[in-house]
Structure 1
Amino acid sequence: MREVVLVVLQLARMTVTDLLGSLNLPEEHIQYWLNRNEALHNFCSQNETCYSKYELNNKQCWGYEASCSKKDSFSARKAKCTKPNSWQKQIFKKQADFAKLAEVLSTITPICVSNYSEGSSLECSSHLRFCRAKNIFFDFHNLNAKNSKRYRNDVIQKGQAGGNCNMLFNEAALRSRADEKSYLQSWAHELEHFSSYPTFEVSKRQCDVIFEKPTVLIKLDAASSMYHHFCDFVNLYASQHVNGSVDMDIDILWWDTVSFLAAASPKPLIIHYARNCERASEPSALATVIANKNCG
């Protein structure tokens, strides 16, 4: 009997344990994160050391928040252009600034919804470039790692991805967003066969591997240069912004189909190809902003 391993992804908001001790951030970013993340803000307001160090009653913001004004945004005094409202500055805002993430946040739509804590959820941005999930699974028995090649789009087939969406399964939204099928442009090939299964649950009876910590799934960009590898860290940090959390107590699942340096988590990377023929589960999952999006 062939062994099958199901990966279950369960996404929950990452919790704050020790703000000053756990945040691995540039000092100038911390103030903005305190305003971005309600849990961090509340923690700091009740922590004497944190409260005395950072100002909590201000409007500083990254630039992608709906209520963020230009003058309060992170790049307001950093982007240097000859004219305040020059076209160069507008292009920078749309393509290279934190404000670019507003287009990701504004297009996130529920695809799978359940009404109980052990149920599944899946929500994705346009073109399936970014996704968050809870209690969903992937079945990797088609991987055959020993004979696999890089950039495969056929690993997940019909019946090999899903969850228990007892309230809503918006298949039409999933199909319409799976319109950019390319390994480094979207999560379309991995999610196009996602479906709802009423009997699915995260348990050792149904799952061979269960990841207990919040888990980030990332596809690394082309390995042709350090520039491309640097983009991986930019995309990972951008994904943390979209998710609204910078907790370091996470697992990172490197989604690759063949055999780096860990900067977003002190834990070793978990490599997808090492999960050959396994059905695996994670308590919480985030599919990062993708490496090679059309038009940036």
Structure 2
Amino acid sequence: MLDWQWLTRVSLVLVVTFDISVDCVRSWLDLNIPQEHVPYFFTNNPHLRRQCLADSSCPYKNIANVTKCWGYESGCHEKNRMSSPQCPEDANGWVNTKKLQVEKFWNSADFGYVTERKKELTTFCEGRDQDDSTLECVRYFRYCKATNIYMDLRKSNIRSGTNRYREDIFTEGQIGGHCKLKKDAVKQEGEHKSPLQSWFAELENYSSLDFHPIKDNKCDIVVEKPTYFIKLDAGVNMYHHFCDYVNLYISQHFNNSFSTDVNIVMWDTSPMYYGDFFEVTWEAFTDHPVIYLKQFDGIRVCFRQAVFSFLARMRFGLYYNMPLIPGCYGSSLIRAFSQHVLHRLQIQQNGPLESKIRVTLLTRSTTYRNILNANELVAALKTVGEFQVINVDFNRDISFKDQLKISHNSDILIGIHGAGLTHMLFQPDWAVIMEIYNCEDSGCYFDLSRLRGLKYMTWERKDKMVQEDEGHHPTLGAHAKFTNYSFDRDEFLRLVFKAADHVRTHPKFIADRKRVKNRKKPINDEL
């Protein structure tokens, strides 16, 4: 049944572009981005920089003239970026020079990725006036943006079936706009047609309509608020789901807007429940509840402004299907994503501690990949006076915000191979991630640590580890991920001491610990 009351609520909101009023301090604060990101924002929005400098109430006046750029802007000098990739190790034959190695990492795993996609942006349907429609996409329709787009969902029948990624939602004339369509060019972009790799299946039947969808009142509802469409990966797995969030963040950069006064529509072509263990993270991207496509089932809906977001499993995308060049680490894009989410979810860094190193051991309440002697290892850690030790199971009894508070305040995070290690994205810059055993999947979390720019460690001596049995995969038989393990206490401590040495000597840890100590120094008043 159509929820007309809900549709009315959607249609009443008229916010077309992000604007900021210099007459109200609250509007400046509504930028709601980390202070470190403000100069980058002003570089891409020079009119707001000028307004800030002219406004006595702007809280960013002291940094408004700082020259910074993400790296995808025209004329952005490398010295003005947040950081550049570090490539101290060999590329193992991928490229022949160190310069090419750095460029490869930058263009595939950092803000150079945005630059490369911007080069591809092509107009596929061109409008002539403001009432017309437009459609622009990058290669293979991995990202698109549209204006005045028409969608006829009267025959879509989304409220029945179990396929979340149907490719038959639209036929010709059921999606499109009033614009001049390059139909042959559209047909050339289908090579990556796949549910979580492109939007080609949804847009291949985009049609040039003989009416203006909105002006000619052809829509049952017009959504005025800017809208992001996204097809989601597994919401119960942090590693997979955060591919969704990372690519939404990349889409915001591509669109040069970090406003949270936007709609997010989950493109799920089924009525099924979507389990989302991390749904609080949407607060970093929107002020409004996520909308499900099924809520438009049976009607014609038009969107003034729509973005079809980069997706979680794109070929050579970030980060699930990305072959990451060896020998490099430190993506400023992933670091900025981490800062952005932590800032908007109001997760505070409470360290470094003046005399302690914070060590967190992740345990699991699952059938497999348990650390059988976790209690022994925790007890051993607690004998070291320098260590502040937490043993935690990140299950549904702990809210995701509370999980982030723990991971963001972990100098050393230890856990066996599993999605919980994705919390490394939110550790401090000086931190160590220790995948105590990778269960014969050596690249997954090692590559993620390289993206985040953290020190990665794993178990070094198999003779100091005991595997419970050969493993019992339901179809593949013996498998290292489907059993449990115990680890030698002394070897474990040796590795943790090695990790602690890295933390203690990291320049950012040293600098931040010094600041903490200076804040605590008593002020002596001389009479």
Which structure 2 residues correspond to residues 176-255 of structure 1 after superposition, within 5 A? 176-203=188-215, 205-223=217-235, 225-255=237-267
Which structure 2 residues correspond to residues 37-186 of structure 1 after superposition, within 5 A? 37-50=45-58, 53-76=61-84, 79-82=85-88, 85=98, 89-148=102-161, 149-165=163-179, 168-186=180-198
Give the match's secondary structure for 2:124.
strand
* Unaligned 5+ runs, structure 1: none
Partner of 1:257 in structure 2?
269
Give the match's secondary structure for 2:67.
coil
The answer to whether the 8 Å contact 2:52/2:61 transfers is no
Distance in 2 (CA, whole Å) between partners of 1:206 and 1:108 is 29
What RMSD, in angstroms, separates the aligned Cα atoms of the two structures? Answer: 2.6
* Higher mean C-alpha deviation, range 28-37 or range 254-263: 254-263
* Unaligned 5+ runs, structure 2: 1-6, 90-96, 273-278, 318-527
CA shift, 1:19, in A, is: 5.0
Residue identity in the other structure for 2:116? E
1:273 aligns with 2:285: no
Change (3 A) 1:224 1:91: farther
CA shift, 1:72, in A, is: 1.4
Distance in 1 (CA, whole Å) between partners of 2:38 and 2:241 is 25
* Higher mean C-alpha deviation, range 45-54 or range 169-178: 45-54
1:14 aligns with 2:26: no
Give the match's secondary structure for 2:217.
coil
The answer to whether the 8 Å contact 1:219/1:256 transfers is yes
The answer to whether the 8 Å contact 2:229/2:308 transfers is yes
The answer to whether the 8 Å contact 2:181/2:208 transfers is yes
Of structures 1 and 2, the one with the larger relative CO (CA 8 A, separation 6+) is 1
Residue identity in the other structure for 2:171? Q
Give the match's secondary structure for 2:150.
strand
* Higher mean C-alpha deviation, range 236-245 or range 219-228: 219-228
Distance in 2 (CA, whole Å) between partners of 1:174 and 1:99 is 26
Alignment deviations for residues 190-239 of structure 1 (CA, whole Å, 9 cap, x no partner): 11001111223305831112111111111112335111111111111110
Give the match's secondary structure for 2:49.
helix
* Higher mean C-alpha deviation, range 132-141 or range 253-262: 253-262
CA shift, 1:13, in A, is: 4.5
Alignment deviations for residues 222-281 of structure 1 (CA, whole Å, 9 cap, x no partner): 335111111111111110100111122111111111233322011111111222112111
The answer to whether the 8 Å contact 1:156/1:193 transfers is yes
Alignment deviations for residues 82-117 of structure 1 (CA, whole Å, 9 cap, x no partner): 379566533431222112111111111111122221
Change (3 A) 1:54 1:280: farther
Distance in 2 (CA, whole Å) between partners of 1:91 and 1:205 is 49
Which structure 2 residues correspond to residues 272-291 of structure 1 after superposition, within 5 A? 272-291=293-312
Partner of 2:37 in structure 1?
29
Please report the TM-score for the alignment, with normalisation by the length of structure 1.
0.86
CA shift, 1:41, in A, is: 2.6
Partner of 2:381 in structure 1?
none
Change (3 A) 1:39 1:188: farther
Which residue, 316, 340, 357 being the options, matches 1:295?
316
Residue identity in the other structure for 1:82? P
Distance in 1 (CA, whole Å) between partners of 2:268 and 2:66 is 42
Distance in 2 (CA, whole Å) between partners of 1:216 and 1:104 is 18
Change (3 A) 1:52 1:289: closer
The answer to whether the 8 Å contact 1:23/1:248 transfers is no
Residue identity in the other structure for 2:30? S
Distance in 1 (CA, whole Å) between partners of 2:69 and 2:269 is 38
CA shift, 1:58, in A, is: 4.2
Give the match's secondary structure for 1:145.
coil
Please report the TM-score for the alignment, with normalisation by the length of structure 2.
0.50
* Higher mean C-alpha deviation, range 83-92 or range 199-208: 83-92
The answer to whether the 8 Å contact 1:137/1:161 transfers is yes
CA shift, 1:142, in A, is: 3.5
CA shift, 1:172, in A, is: 2.4
The answer to whether the 8 Å contact 1:63/1:98 transfers is yes
The answer to whether the 8 Å contact 1:131/1:287 transfers is yes
